Amino acid sequence: MTSSKYLPLITTIAVFVLAYLICIAQFPSMWSTRVIGNLLTDNAFLGITAVGMTFVILSGGIDLSVGSVIAFTGVFLAVLLQNTSIHPLFAFVLALMITTAFGAFMGAVIHYLEMPAFIVTLAGMFLARGVSFLLSTQSVPINHPFYATLQHLYFKMPGGGRLTLIGITMLVVFLVGSIVAQRTRFGANVYALGGNIQSAELMGVPVGRTTIGIYAVSGFLAGLSGIVFSLYTSAGYSLSASGVELDAIAAVVIGGTLLSGGSGFIAGTLIGIFIQGLIQTYIVFDGTLSSWWTKIVIGLLLFGFIALQRGILWMSEHGSVSFRKKAAA
Amino acid sequence: MANETPLLRAKGVSKSFFGVAALDDVDFTLRSGEVHALLGENGAGKSTLIKVITGAYRRDAGEVLLEGKPIFPRDVLDAQALGIGTVYQEVNLLPNLSVAENLYLGRQPKRFGMIDMRAMNRLSRELLKRYGLDIDVAAPLSSFSVAIQQIIAIARAVDISGKVLILDEPTASLDTHEVEMLFSVVRQLRAEGLGIIFISHFLDQVFSIADTITVLRNGRLIASRAVEGLERIDLVSMMLGRRLEEAEDTGNGVAADTGGETVIKVRHLGKRGVLAPFDLDVKRGEVVGIAGLLGSGRTETAQLLFGIERADGGTVEVEGQATNLASPQKAVHAGFGFCPEDRKTDGIIGDLSVRENIALALQARRGWAKPLSRREQDDLASQYIEALDIRTAGAEMPVKFLSGGNQQKVLLARWLATNPRFLILDEPTRGIDVGAHAEIIRLIRRLCADGMSLLVISSELEELVGYSARVLVLRDRRHVAELVGEEVSTTGILKAIAASGTTGAAA
């Protein structure tokens, strides 16, 4: 039974290794640190927000607002840096404070008004997108010298690959996220909420504080993701990052986290991101395939993983059905 | 003993909801090192008393003393911190977390600000060893049986609270062996000096584990006594509110053999974990009564017969023909009708009119393709309003505005309109006034005189004795006796309920 907890994660890793082997067999040059470096850099913003999404989904919730929050952060930074002379670091802090508070607010609405997370974060999605249009409808370029400095910070890996600042940022976020999820009371409470919210409450989990904390973390990471995205694109545009919330959810599910909450690992989400990135890289190498194949393969993978989760659930219920079924009193 | 301060004491506790007293001036005393069973039928006030003690409800009057000091728990967590832990029938732990995480959630040992997994697992193993469990504490809780989960829940509750342990029907879904396992844990905790409140419907279990018994009925304290020297039959009469000397009647004059042919013939119908297989024969024009304590399997018998619970074995013959009762629709087609115990949630539809409520079952039986015309519905309604003397301002009155007794009659009318062969009534007289009560009983007699067969479940023993040709007695989810002729008397029923049997639920 212990293995059923790790089975989705093991499957994800196996799928990734297999996919990578197929890629290398076809394009041997894909086995290089350049490809790996690009994989990290290109998916950094998605990975960072997917960590927040993992916390949300582990607790049994969902956060549809992250794509809009990323766009808002980009536009906010671009407009601020264009029209004022404040230092980008200060702008980053401001942006993170706003997005964290926004997430915490949504968490508070979900908890205190007992509203479904789907609806509350859907409202948040429209709100954040709308506000970024209010700031600017145009794509605003960022030409600050500090941005150029950050963009040129990287480690050179053997083989010529570049481990960029934003790639490192993503890896650090995954590491910290994993530790928080597995080794802190907050993390244990997140899993507890995803298991059964009533039981968790009876066992003394501070449900309100934890819920607010989870959505604040998601808001913070969406803000950080927005900063990384603005470093990646050197611009802020209110139409950007649309649908990123769905890509993040896909990465979380492919990474082996149960969509109903309570089971999964942050590390799995990283593999989920790698799988998505790998498919895109493969398409670039191939050169003839349409980029829509990314969506098709991800769709198929999602179906596969949902079926796998059902299967595991069915097996565990089937195994202990005689104990679970409570006799009618 | 008498001068010793009791561990937990409730004095003159009262609680009412919307002016209805759920607890009325109840005293309750729990000593260290005793298992105290709290007994009573539905609505007796057991769960209200527990909720007052654990802080889920505020008491209206009276006081609760823990080790002599008055306590005012704000909520369940507060009561837990004071030393009162509760374990419920449905395990309130988290199936997706490991055993160790369940034991230490919210109070995990830490090292350098992080949860110290190794220490947590070690502490968990040590904790569970005291309960005789040697299991993989890193495995998810869901991989263990309910009995083990119960013991884990007890271990957590005792570890956090450590003075009073409340077990609210912990054995309801366990088999005999698991119950024994749980009881050895309870005995050990008693030896360690905990005070344990034990709630169960299974009298055998109560007699095997409890030291003291408190019986509540209708929100009042009936008695609090040591188990030693307590006769089973005295306990049952306390719970049901019948004194034996009052019940010295014998027989009821209802002929056991009406000479009619057998309409319903049931053989070995049962469902694992719900009801042990039973046989039942019902003749034309006969009332068969079903008696037993709450939770003994009375309602389950009706639900099996009406296809609400699917039987996993046994056969049913209706007028000689084998019949499949896998769903209520099939039961209705076989000519069965069922008026459930809780008419407000399972029976009447309050916002629909009297006419619509009466027409419902007949319409369902005909199928939606053949609607009853408005005229037919009106005729049906006026016919039954008159026949059953339903007091309503008109056939178009929403049923929710009728009194309980009249609602019950509407429900009866619904089934009578389908002209059933066999009608099952679960507590037909509960919660209705005395006048309506007598009318319902008259109606039951009239229906069987007209040749209908009835199965009536009731806690009102005199009532059952009054109209039943035979009475089946249930105990611990098992049909244990069938009383015929002279045996059909309140004394006979009480004795059959109280007769000691095997420990444990039917598995």
Instruction: Provide ipTM, 2 decimals.
Output: 0.85
Look up residue A104 and give its amino acid: A
Range of the domain at A281: 2-317
> Using the 8-state DSSP alphabet, how is residue A28 labeled?
G
- Chain B residue whose CA is closest to A183: B115
pLDDT per residue as tens digits for the range B473-485: 988 888 888 888 7
- Considering only CA atoms, which of B76, B177, B97 is closest in space to residue A181? B97
Which residues on chain A are in Cβ contact (under 8 Å) with B309? 328
In this prediction, residues A142-160 reach a mean pLDDT of: 90
The answer to whether the CB atoms of B146 and A328 lie below 8 A apart is no
Q: Which of chain A's residues have a Cβ under 8 Å away from the Cβ of B114?
A: 179, 183-184
pLDDT at A235 over 90: yes
Average pLDDT over residues A5-20: 87
Distance from A212 to chain B by nearest Cα, in Å? 17
Q: What is the pLDDT of residues B289-300, one digit of tens each?
A: 998 887 788 888
**Domain-embedded: residue A222:** yes
Q: What is the pLDDT of residue B242?
A: 66
**B61 at interface of A, judged by CB pairs closer than 8 A:** no
Domain B8-96+140-230: CATH class, spelled out: alpha beta
A319: exposed, middle or buried (Cβ count in 10 Å: 0-12, 13-18, 19+): middle
Q: Please choose, from the candidates B121, B178, B116, B108, the residue with its C-alpha nearest in 3D space to the C-alpha of residue A2.
A: B121
Closest chain A C-alpha to B441 CA, distance in angstroms: 27
Query: What are the angstrom distances between the C-alpha of B360 and each of B85, B238, B371, B375?
Result: 47, 41, 11, 15
Mind telling me how many Å the CA of A174 is from chain B's nearest CA? 17
Q: How does strand B479-484 pair with strand B470-474? A: antiparallel
Write out pLDDT tens, residues A261-296. Answer: 999 999 999 999 999 999 889 988 888 888 788 888
- What CATH number is associated with residue A230? 1.10.3470
The answer to whether domain B8-96+140-230 and domain B262-498 are alike in fold is yes
Confidence band of A49 (pLDDT split at 50, 70, 90): very high
Q: What is chain B's Cα-based Rg? A: 26
Q: What is the reported pLDDT for B143? A: 85
* B377 to B343, B364, B395: CA distances (angstroms): 22, 13, 10
Three-state SS annotation for B140-187? EHHHCCHHHHHHHHHHHHHHHCCCEEEEECCCCCCCHHHHHHHHHHHH
Q: Which of B93, B105, B139 sits opposite A1 (nearest CB)?
A: B139
Nearest Cα of chain A lies from the Cα of B141 at a distance, in angstroms, of 10
Nearest to A205 among B105, B114, B273 (CB): B105
Q: What is the pLDDT of residues B299-347, one digit of tens each?
A: 889 888 998 888 888 888 888 888 888 888 888 888 888 888 777 677 7
- Whether the CB of B274 is below 8 Å from some CB of chain A: the reply is yes
For the record, the structure tokens of B420 come out as 């059933």
Residue B91: pLDDT over 80: no
Q: Dihedral angle at the C-alpha atoms of A154, A159, A160, A164, nearest 10 degrees?
A: -20
d(CA B214, CA B217): 10
Q: How far is A62 from chain B (nearest CA, A)?
A: 19
Judged by CB atoms closer than 8 Å, whether chains meet at B108 and A185 is answered as yes
pLDDT value at A327 more than 70:
no
pLDDT reported for residue A328: 33
Residue of B nearest to A182 (CA): B115
Per CB-CB distance under 8 Å, the chain B contacts of A265 are: none
Contact A194 B140 (CB under 8 A): no
User: Which residues are CB-neighbours of B463 under 8 A, at least 6 positions away?
Assistant: B429, B441
Token pair of B490, please?
């309140």
Helices (H), B259-373: 298-305, 328-333, 354-366
Question: Nearest CA to CA, how far is A322 from chain B (Å)?
Answer: 9
A290 is written with which tokens? 């349409």
> Among partner residues A199, A204, A329, which is closest to B77 by beta-carbon distance?
A204
B97 and A204 in contact by Cβ < 8 A? Answer: no
DSSP assigned state of B333: H
In this complex, which of B90, B97, B505 lies closest to A192 when CB atoms are compared? B97
- For residue B151, what are the CA distances in angstroms to B45, B84, B154, B158? 26, 17, 5, 10
**Predicted local confidence at residue B371, as pLDDT:** 84
Give the pair of three-digit tokens for residue B217: 């009925």
* Digit-coded pLDDT (tens) for A107-135: 999 999 999 999 999 999 999 999 999 99
Report how far residue A231's alpha carbon sits from residue A142's, in angstroms, rounded to the nearest whole number. Answer: 9
Q: Which residues pair with B317 in a beta bridge?
A: B265, B322
Do B65 and B9 form a contact (C-beta atoms < 8 A)? yes
Query: Taking an 8 Å Cβ-Cβ cutoff, which residues of chain A contact chain B?
Result: 1-2, 4-5, 179, 182-185, 188-189, 191-192, 194-196, 198-200, 202-205, 262-263, 316, 320, 322-329
- The nearest alpha carbon in chain B to A329 belongs to B295
Q: How many residues does chain A have?
A: 329
Pick from B101, B139, B273: CB nearest A327: B273
Mean per-residue pLDDT, B447-459: 87
Q: In what order do the strands lie in the sheet with B479-484?
A: B336-339, B422-426, B453-457, B287-292, B470-474, B479-484
What residue of B is the nearest CA neighbor of A198?
B92
Nearest-neighbour CA in chain B from A191: distance (Å): 7
The count of structural domains within chain A is 1
Where are the domains positioned within chain B?
8-96+140-230, 262-498
Average pLDDT value over all residues in chain B: 84
Locate tokens 């609505």: which residue? Answer: B43
The answer to whether residue A327 is domain-embedded is: no
- Best of B97, B177, B308 to substitute, by most chain A Cβ atoms within 10 angstroms, is B97
Please indicate whether, in this complex, the C-beta atoms of B143 and A1 are within 8 angstroms of each other: yes
Compute CA distances A258 → A57, A62, A144, whole Å.
8, 12, 42
Sheet with B69-70: strands ordered across = B20-30, B8-17, B61-66, B69-70
B159-171: pLDDT as tens digits:
988 899 999 888 7
| Alpha-carbon dihedral angle through residues A267, A273, A276, A278, given to the nearest 10 degrees | -80
First to last CA, chain A: 29
Structure confidence at residue A226 as a pLDDT band (50, 70, 90): very high
In degrees rounded to 5, what are phi and psi of residue B196? -120, 125
pLDDT of amino acid B254 = 57
Check CB contact of B80 with chain A, cutoff 8 Å.
Answer: yes
Please give the distance of CA B315 from its chain centroid, rounded to a whole number: 26
Contact residues on chain B for A325, CB-CB shorter than 8 A: 173, 273
For residue B380, the surrounding DSSP H or E stretch is helix B374-387
What pLDDT sits at residue B135?
92
- Answer yes or no: is A185 within a domain: yes
Closest-CA residue to A61 (of A202, A256, A258): A258
The answer to whether residue B221 neighbours chain A at the CB level (below 8 Å) is no
Residue B150 has pLDDT above 50, yes or no: yes
Task: Give the pLDDT score at B244.
Answer: 52
Dist CA A285 CA A291 (whole Å): 11
CB pairs < 8 Å spanning A and B = 100
**From the CA of A261, how many Å to the nearest CA of chain B?**
9
Give me the mean pLDDT over the B385-408 stretch: 82
φ, ψ (nearest 5 deg) of residue B394: 170, 170
Superfamily of domain covering B262-498: P-loop containing nucleotide triphosphate hydrolases (3.40.50.300)
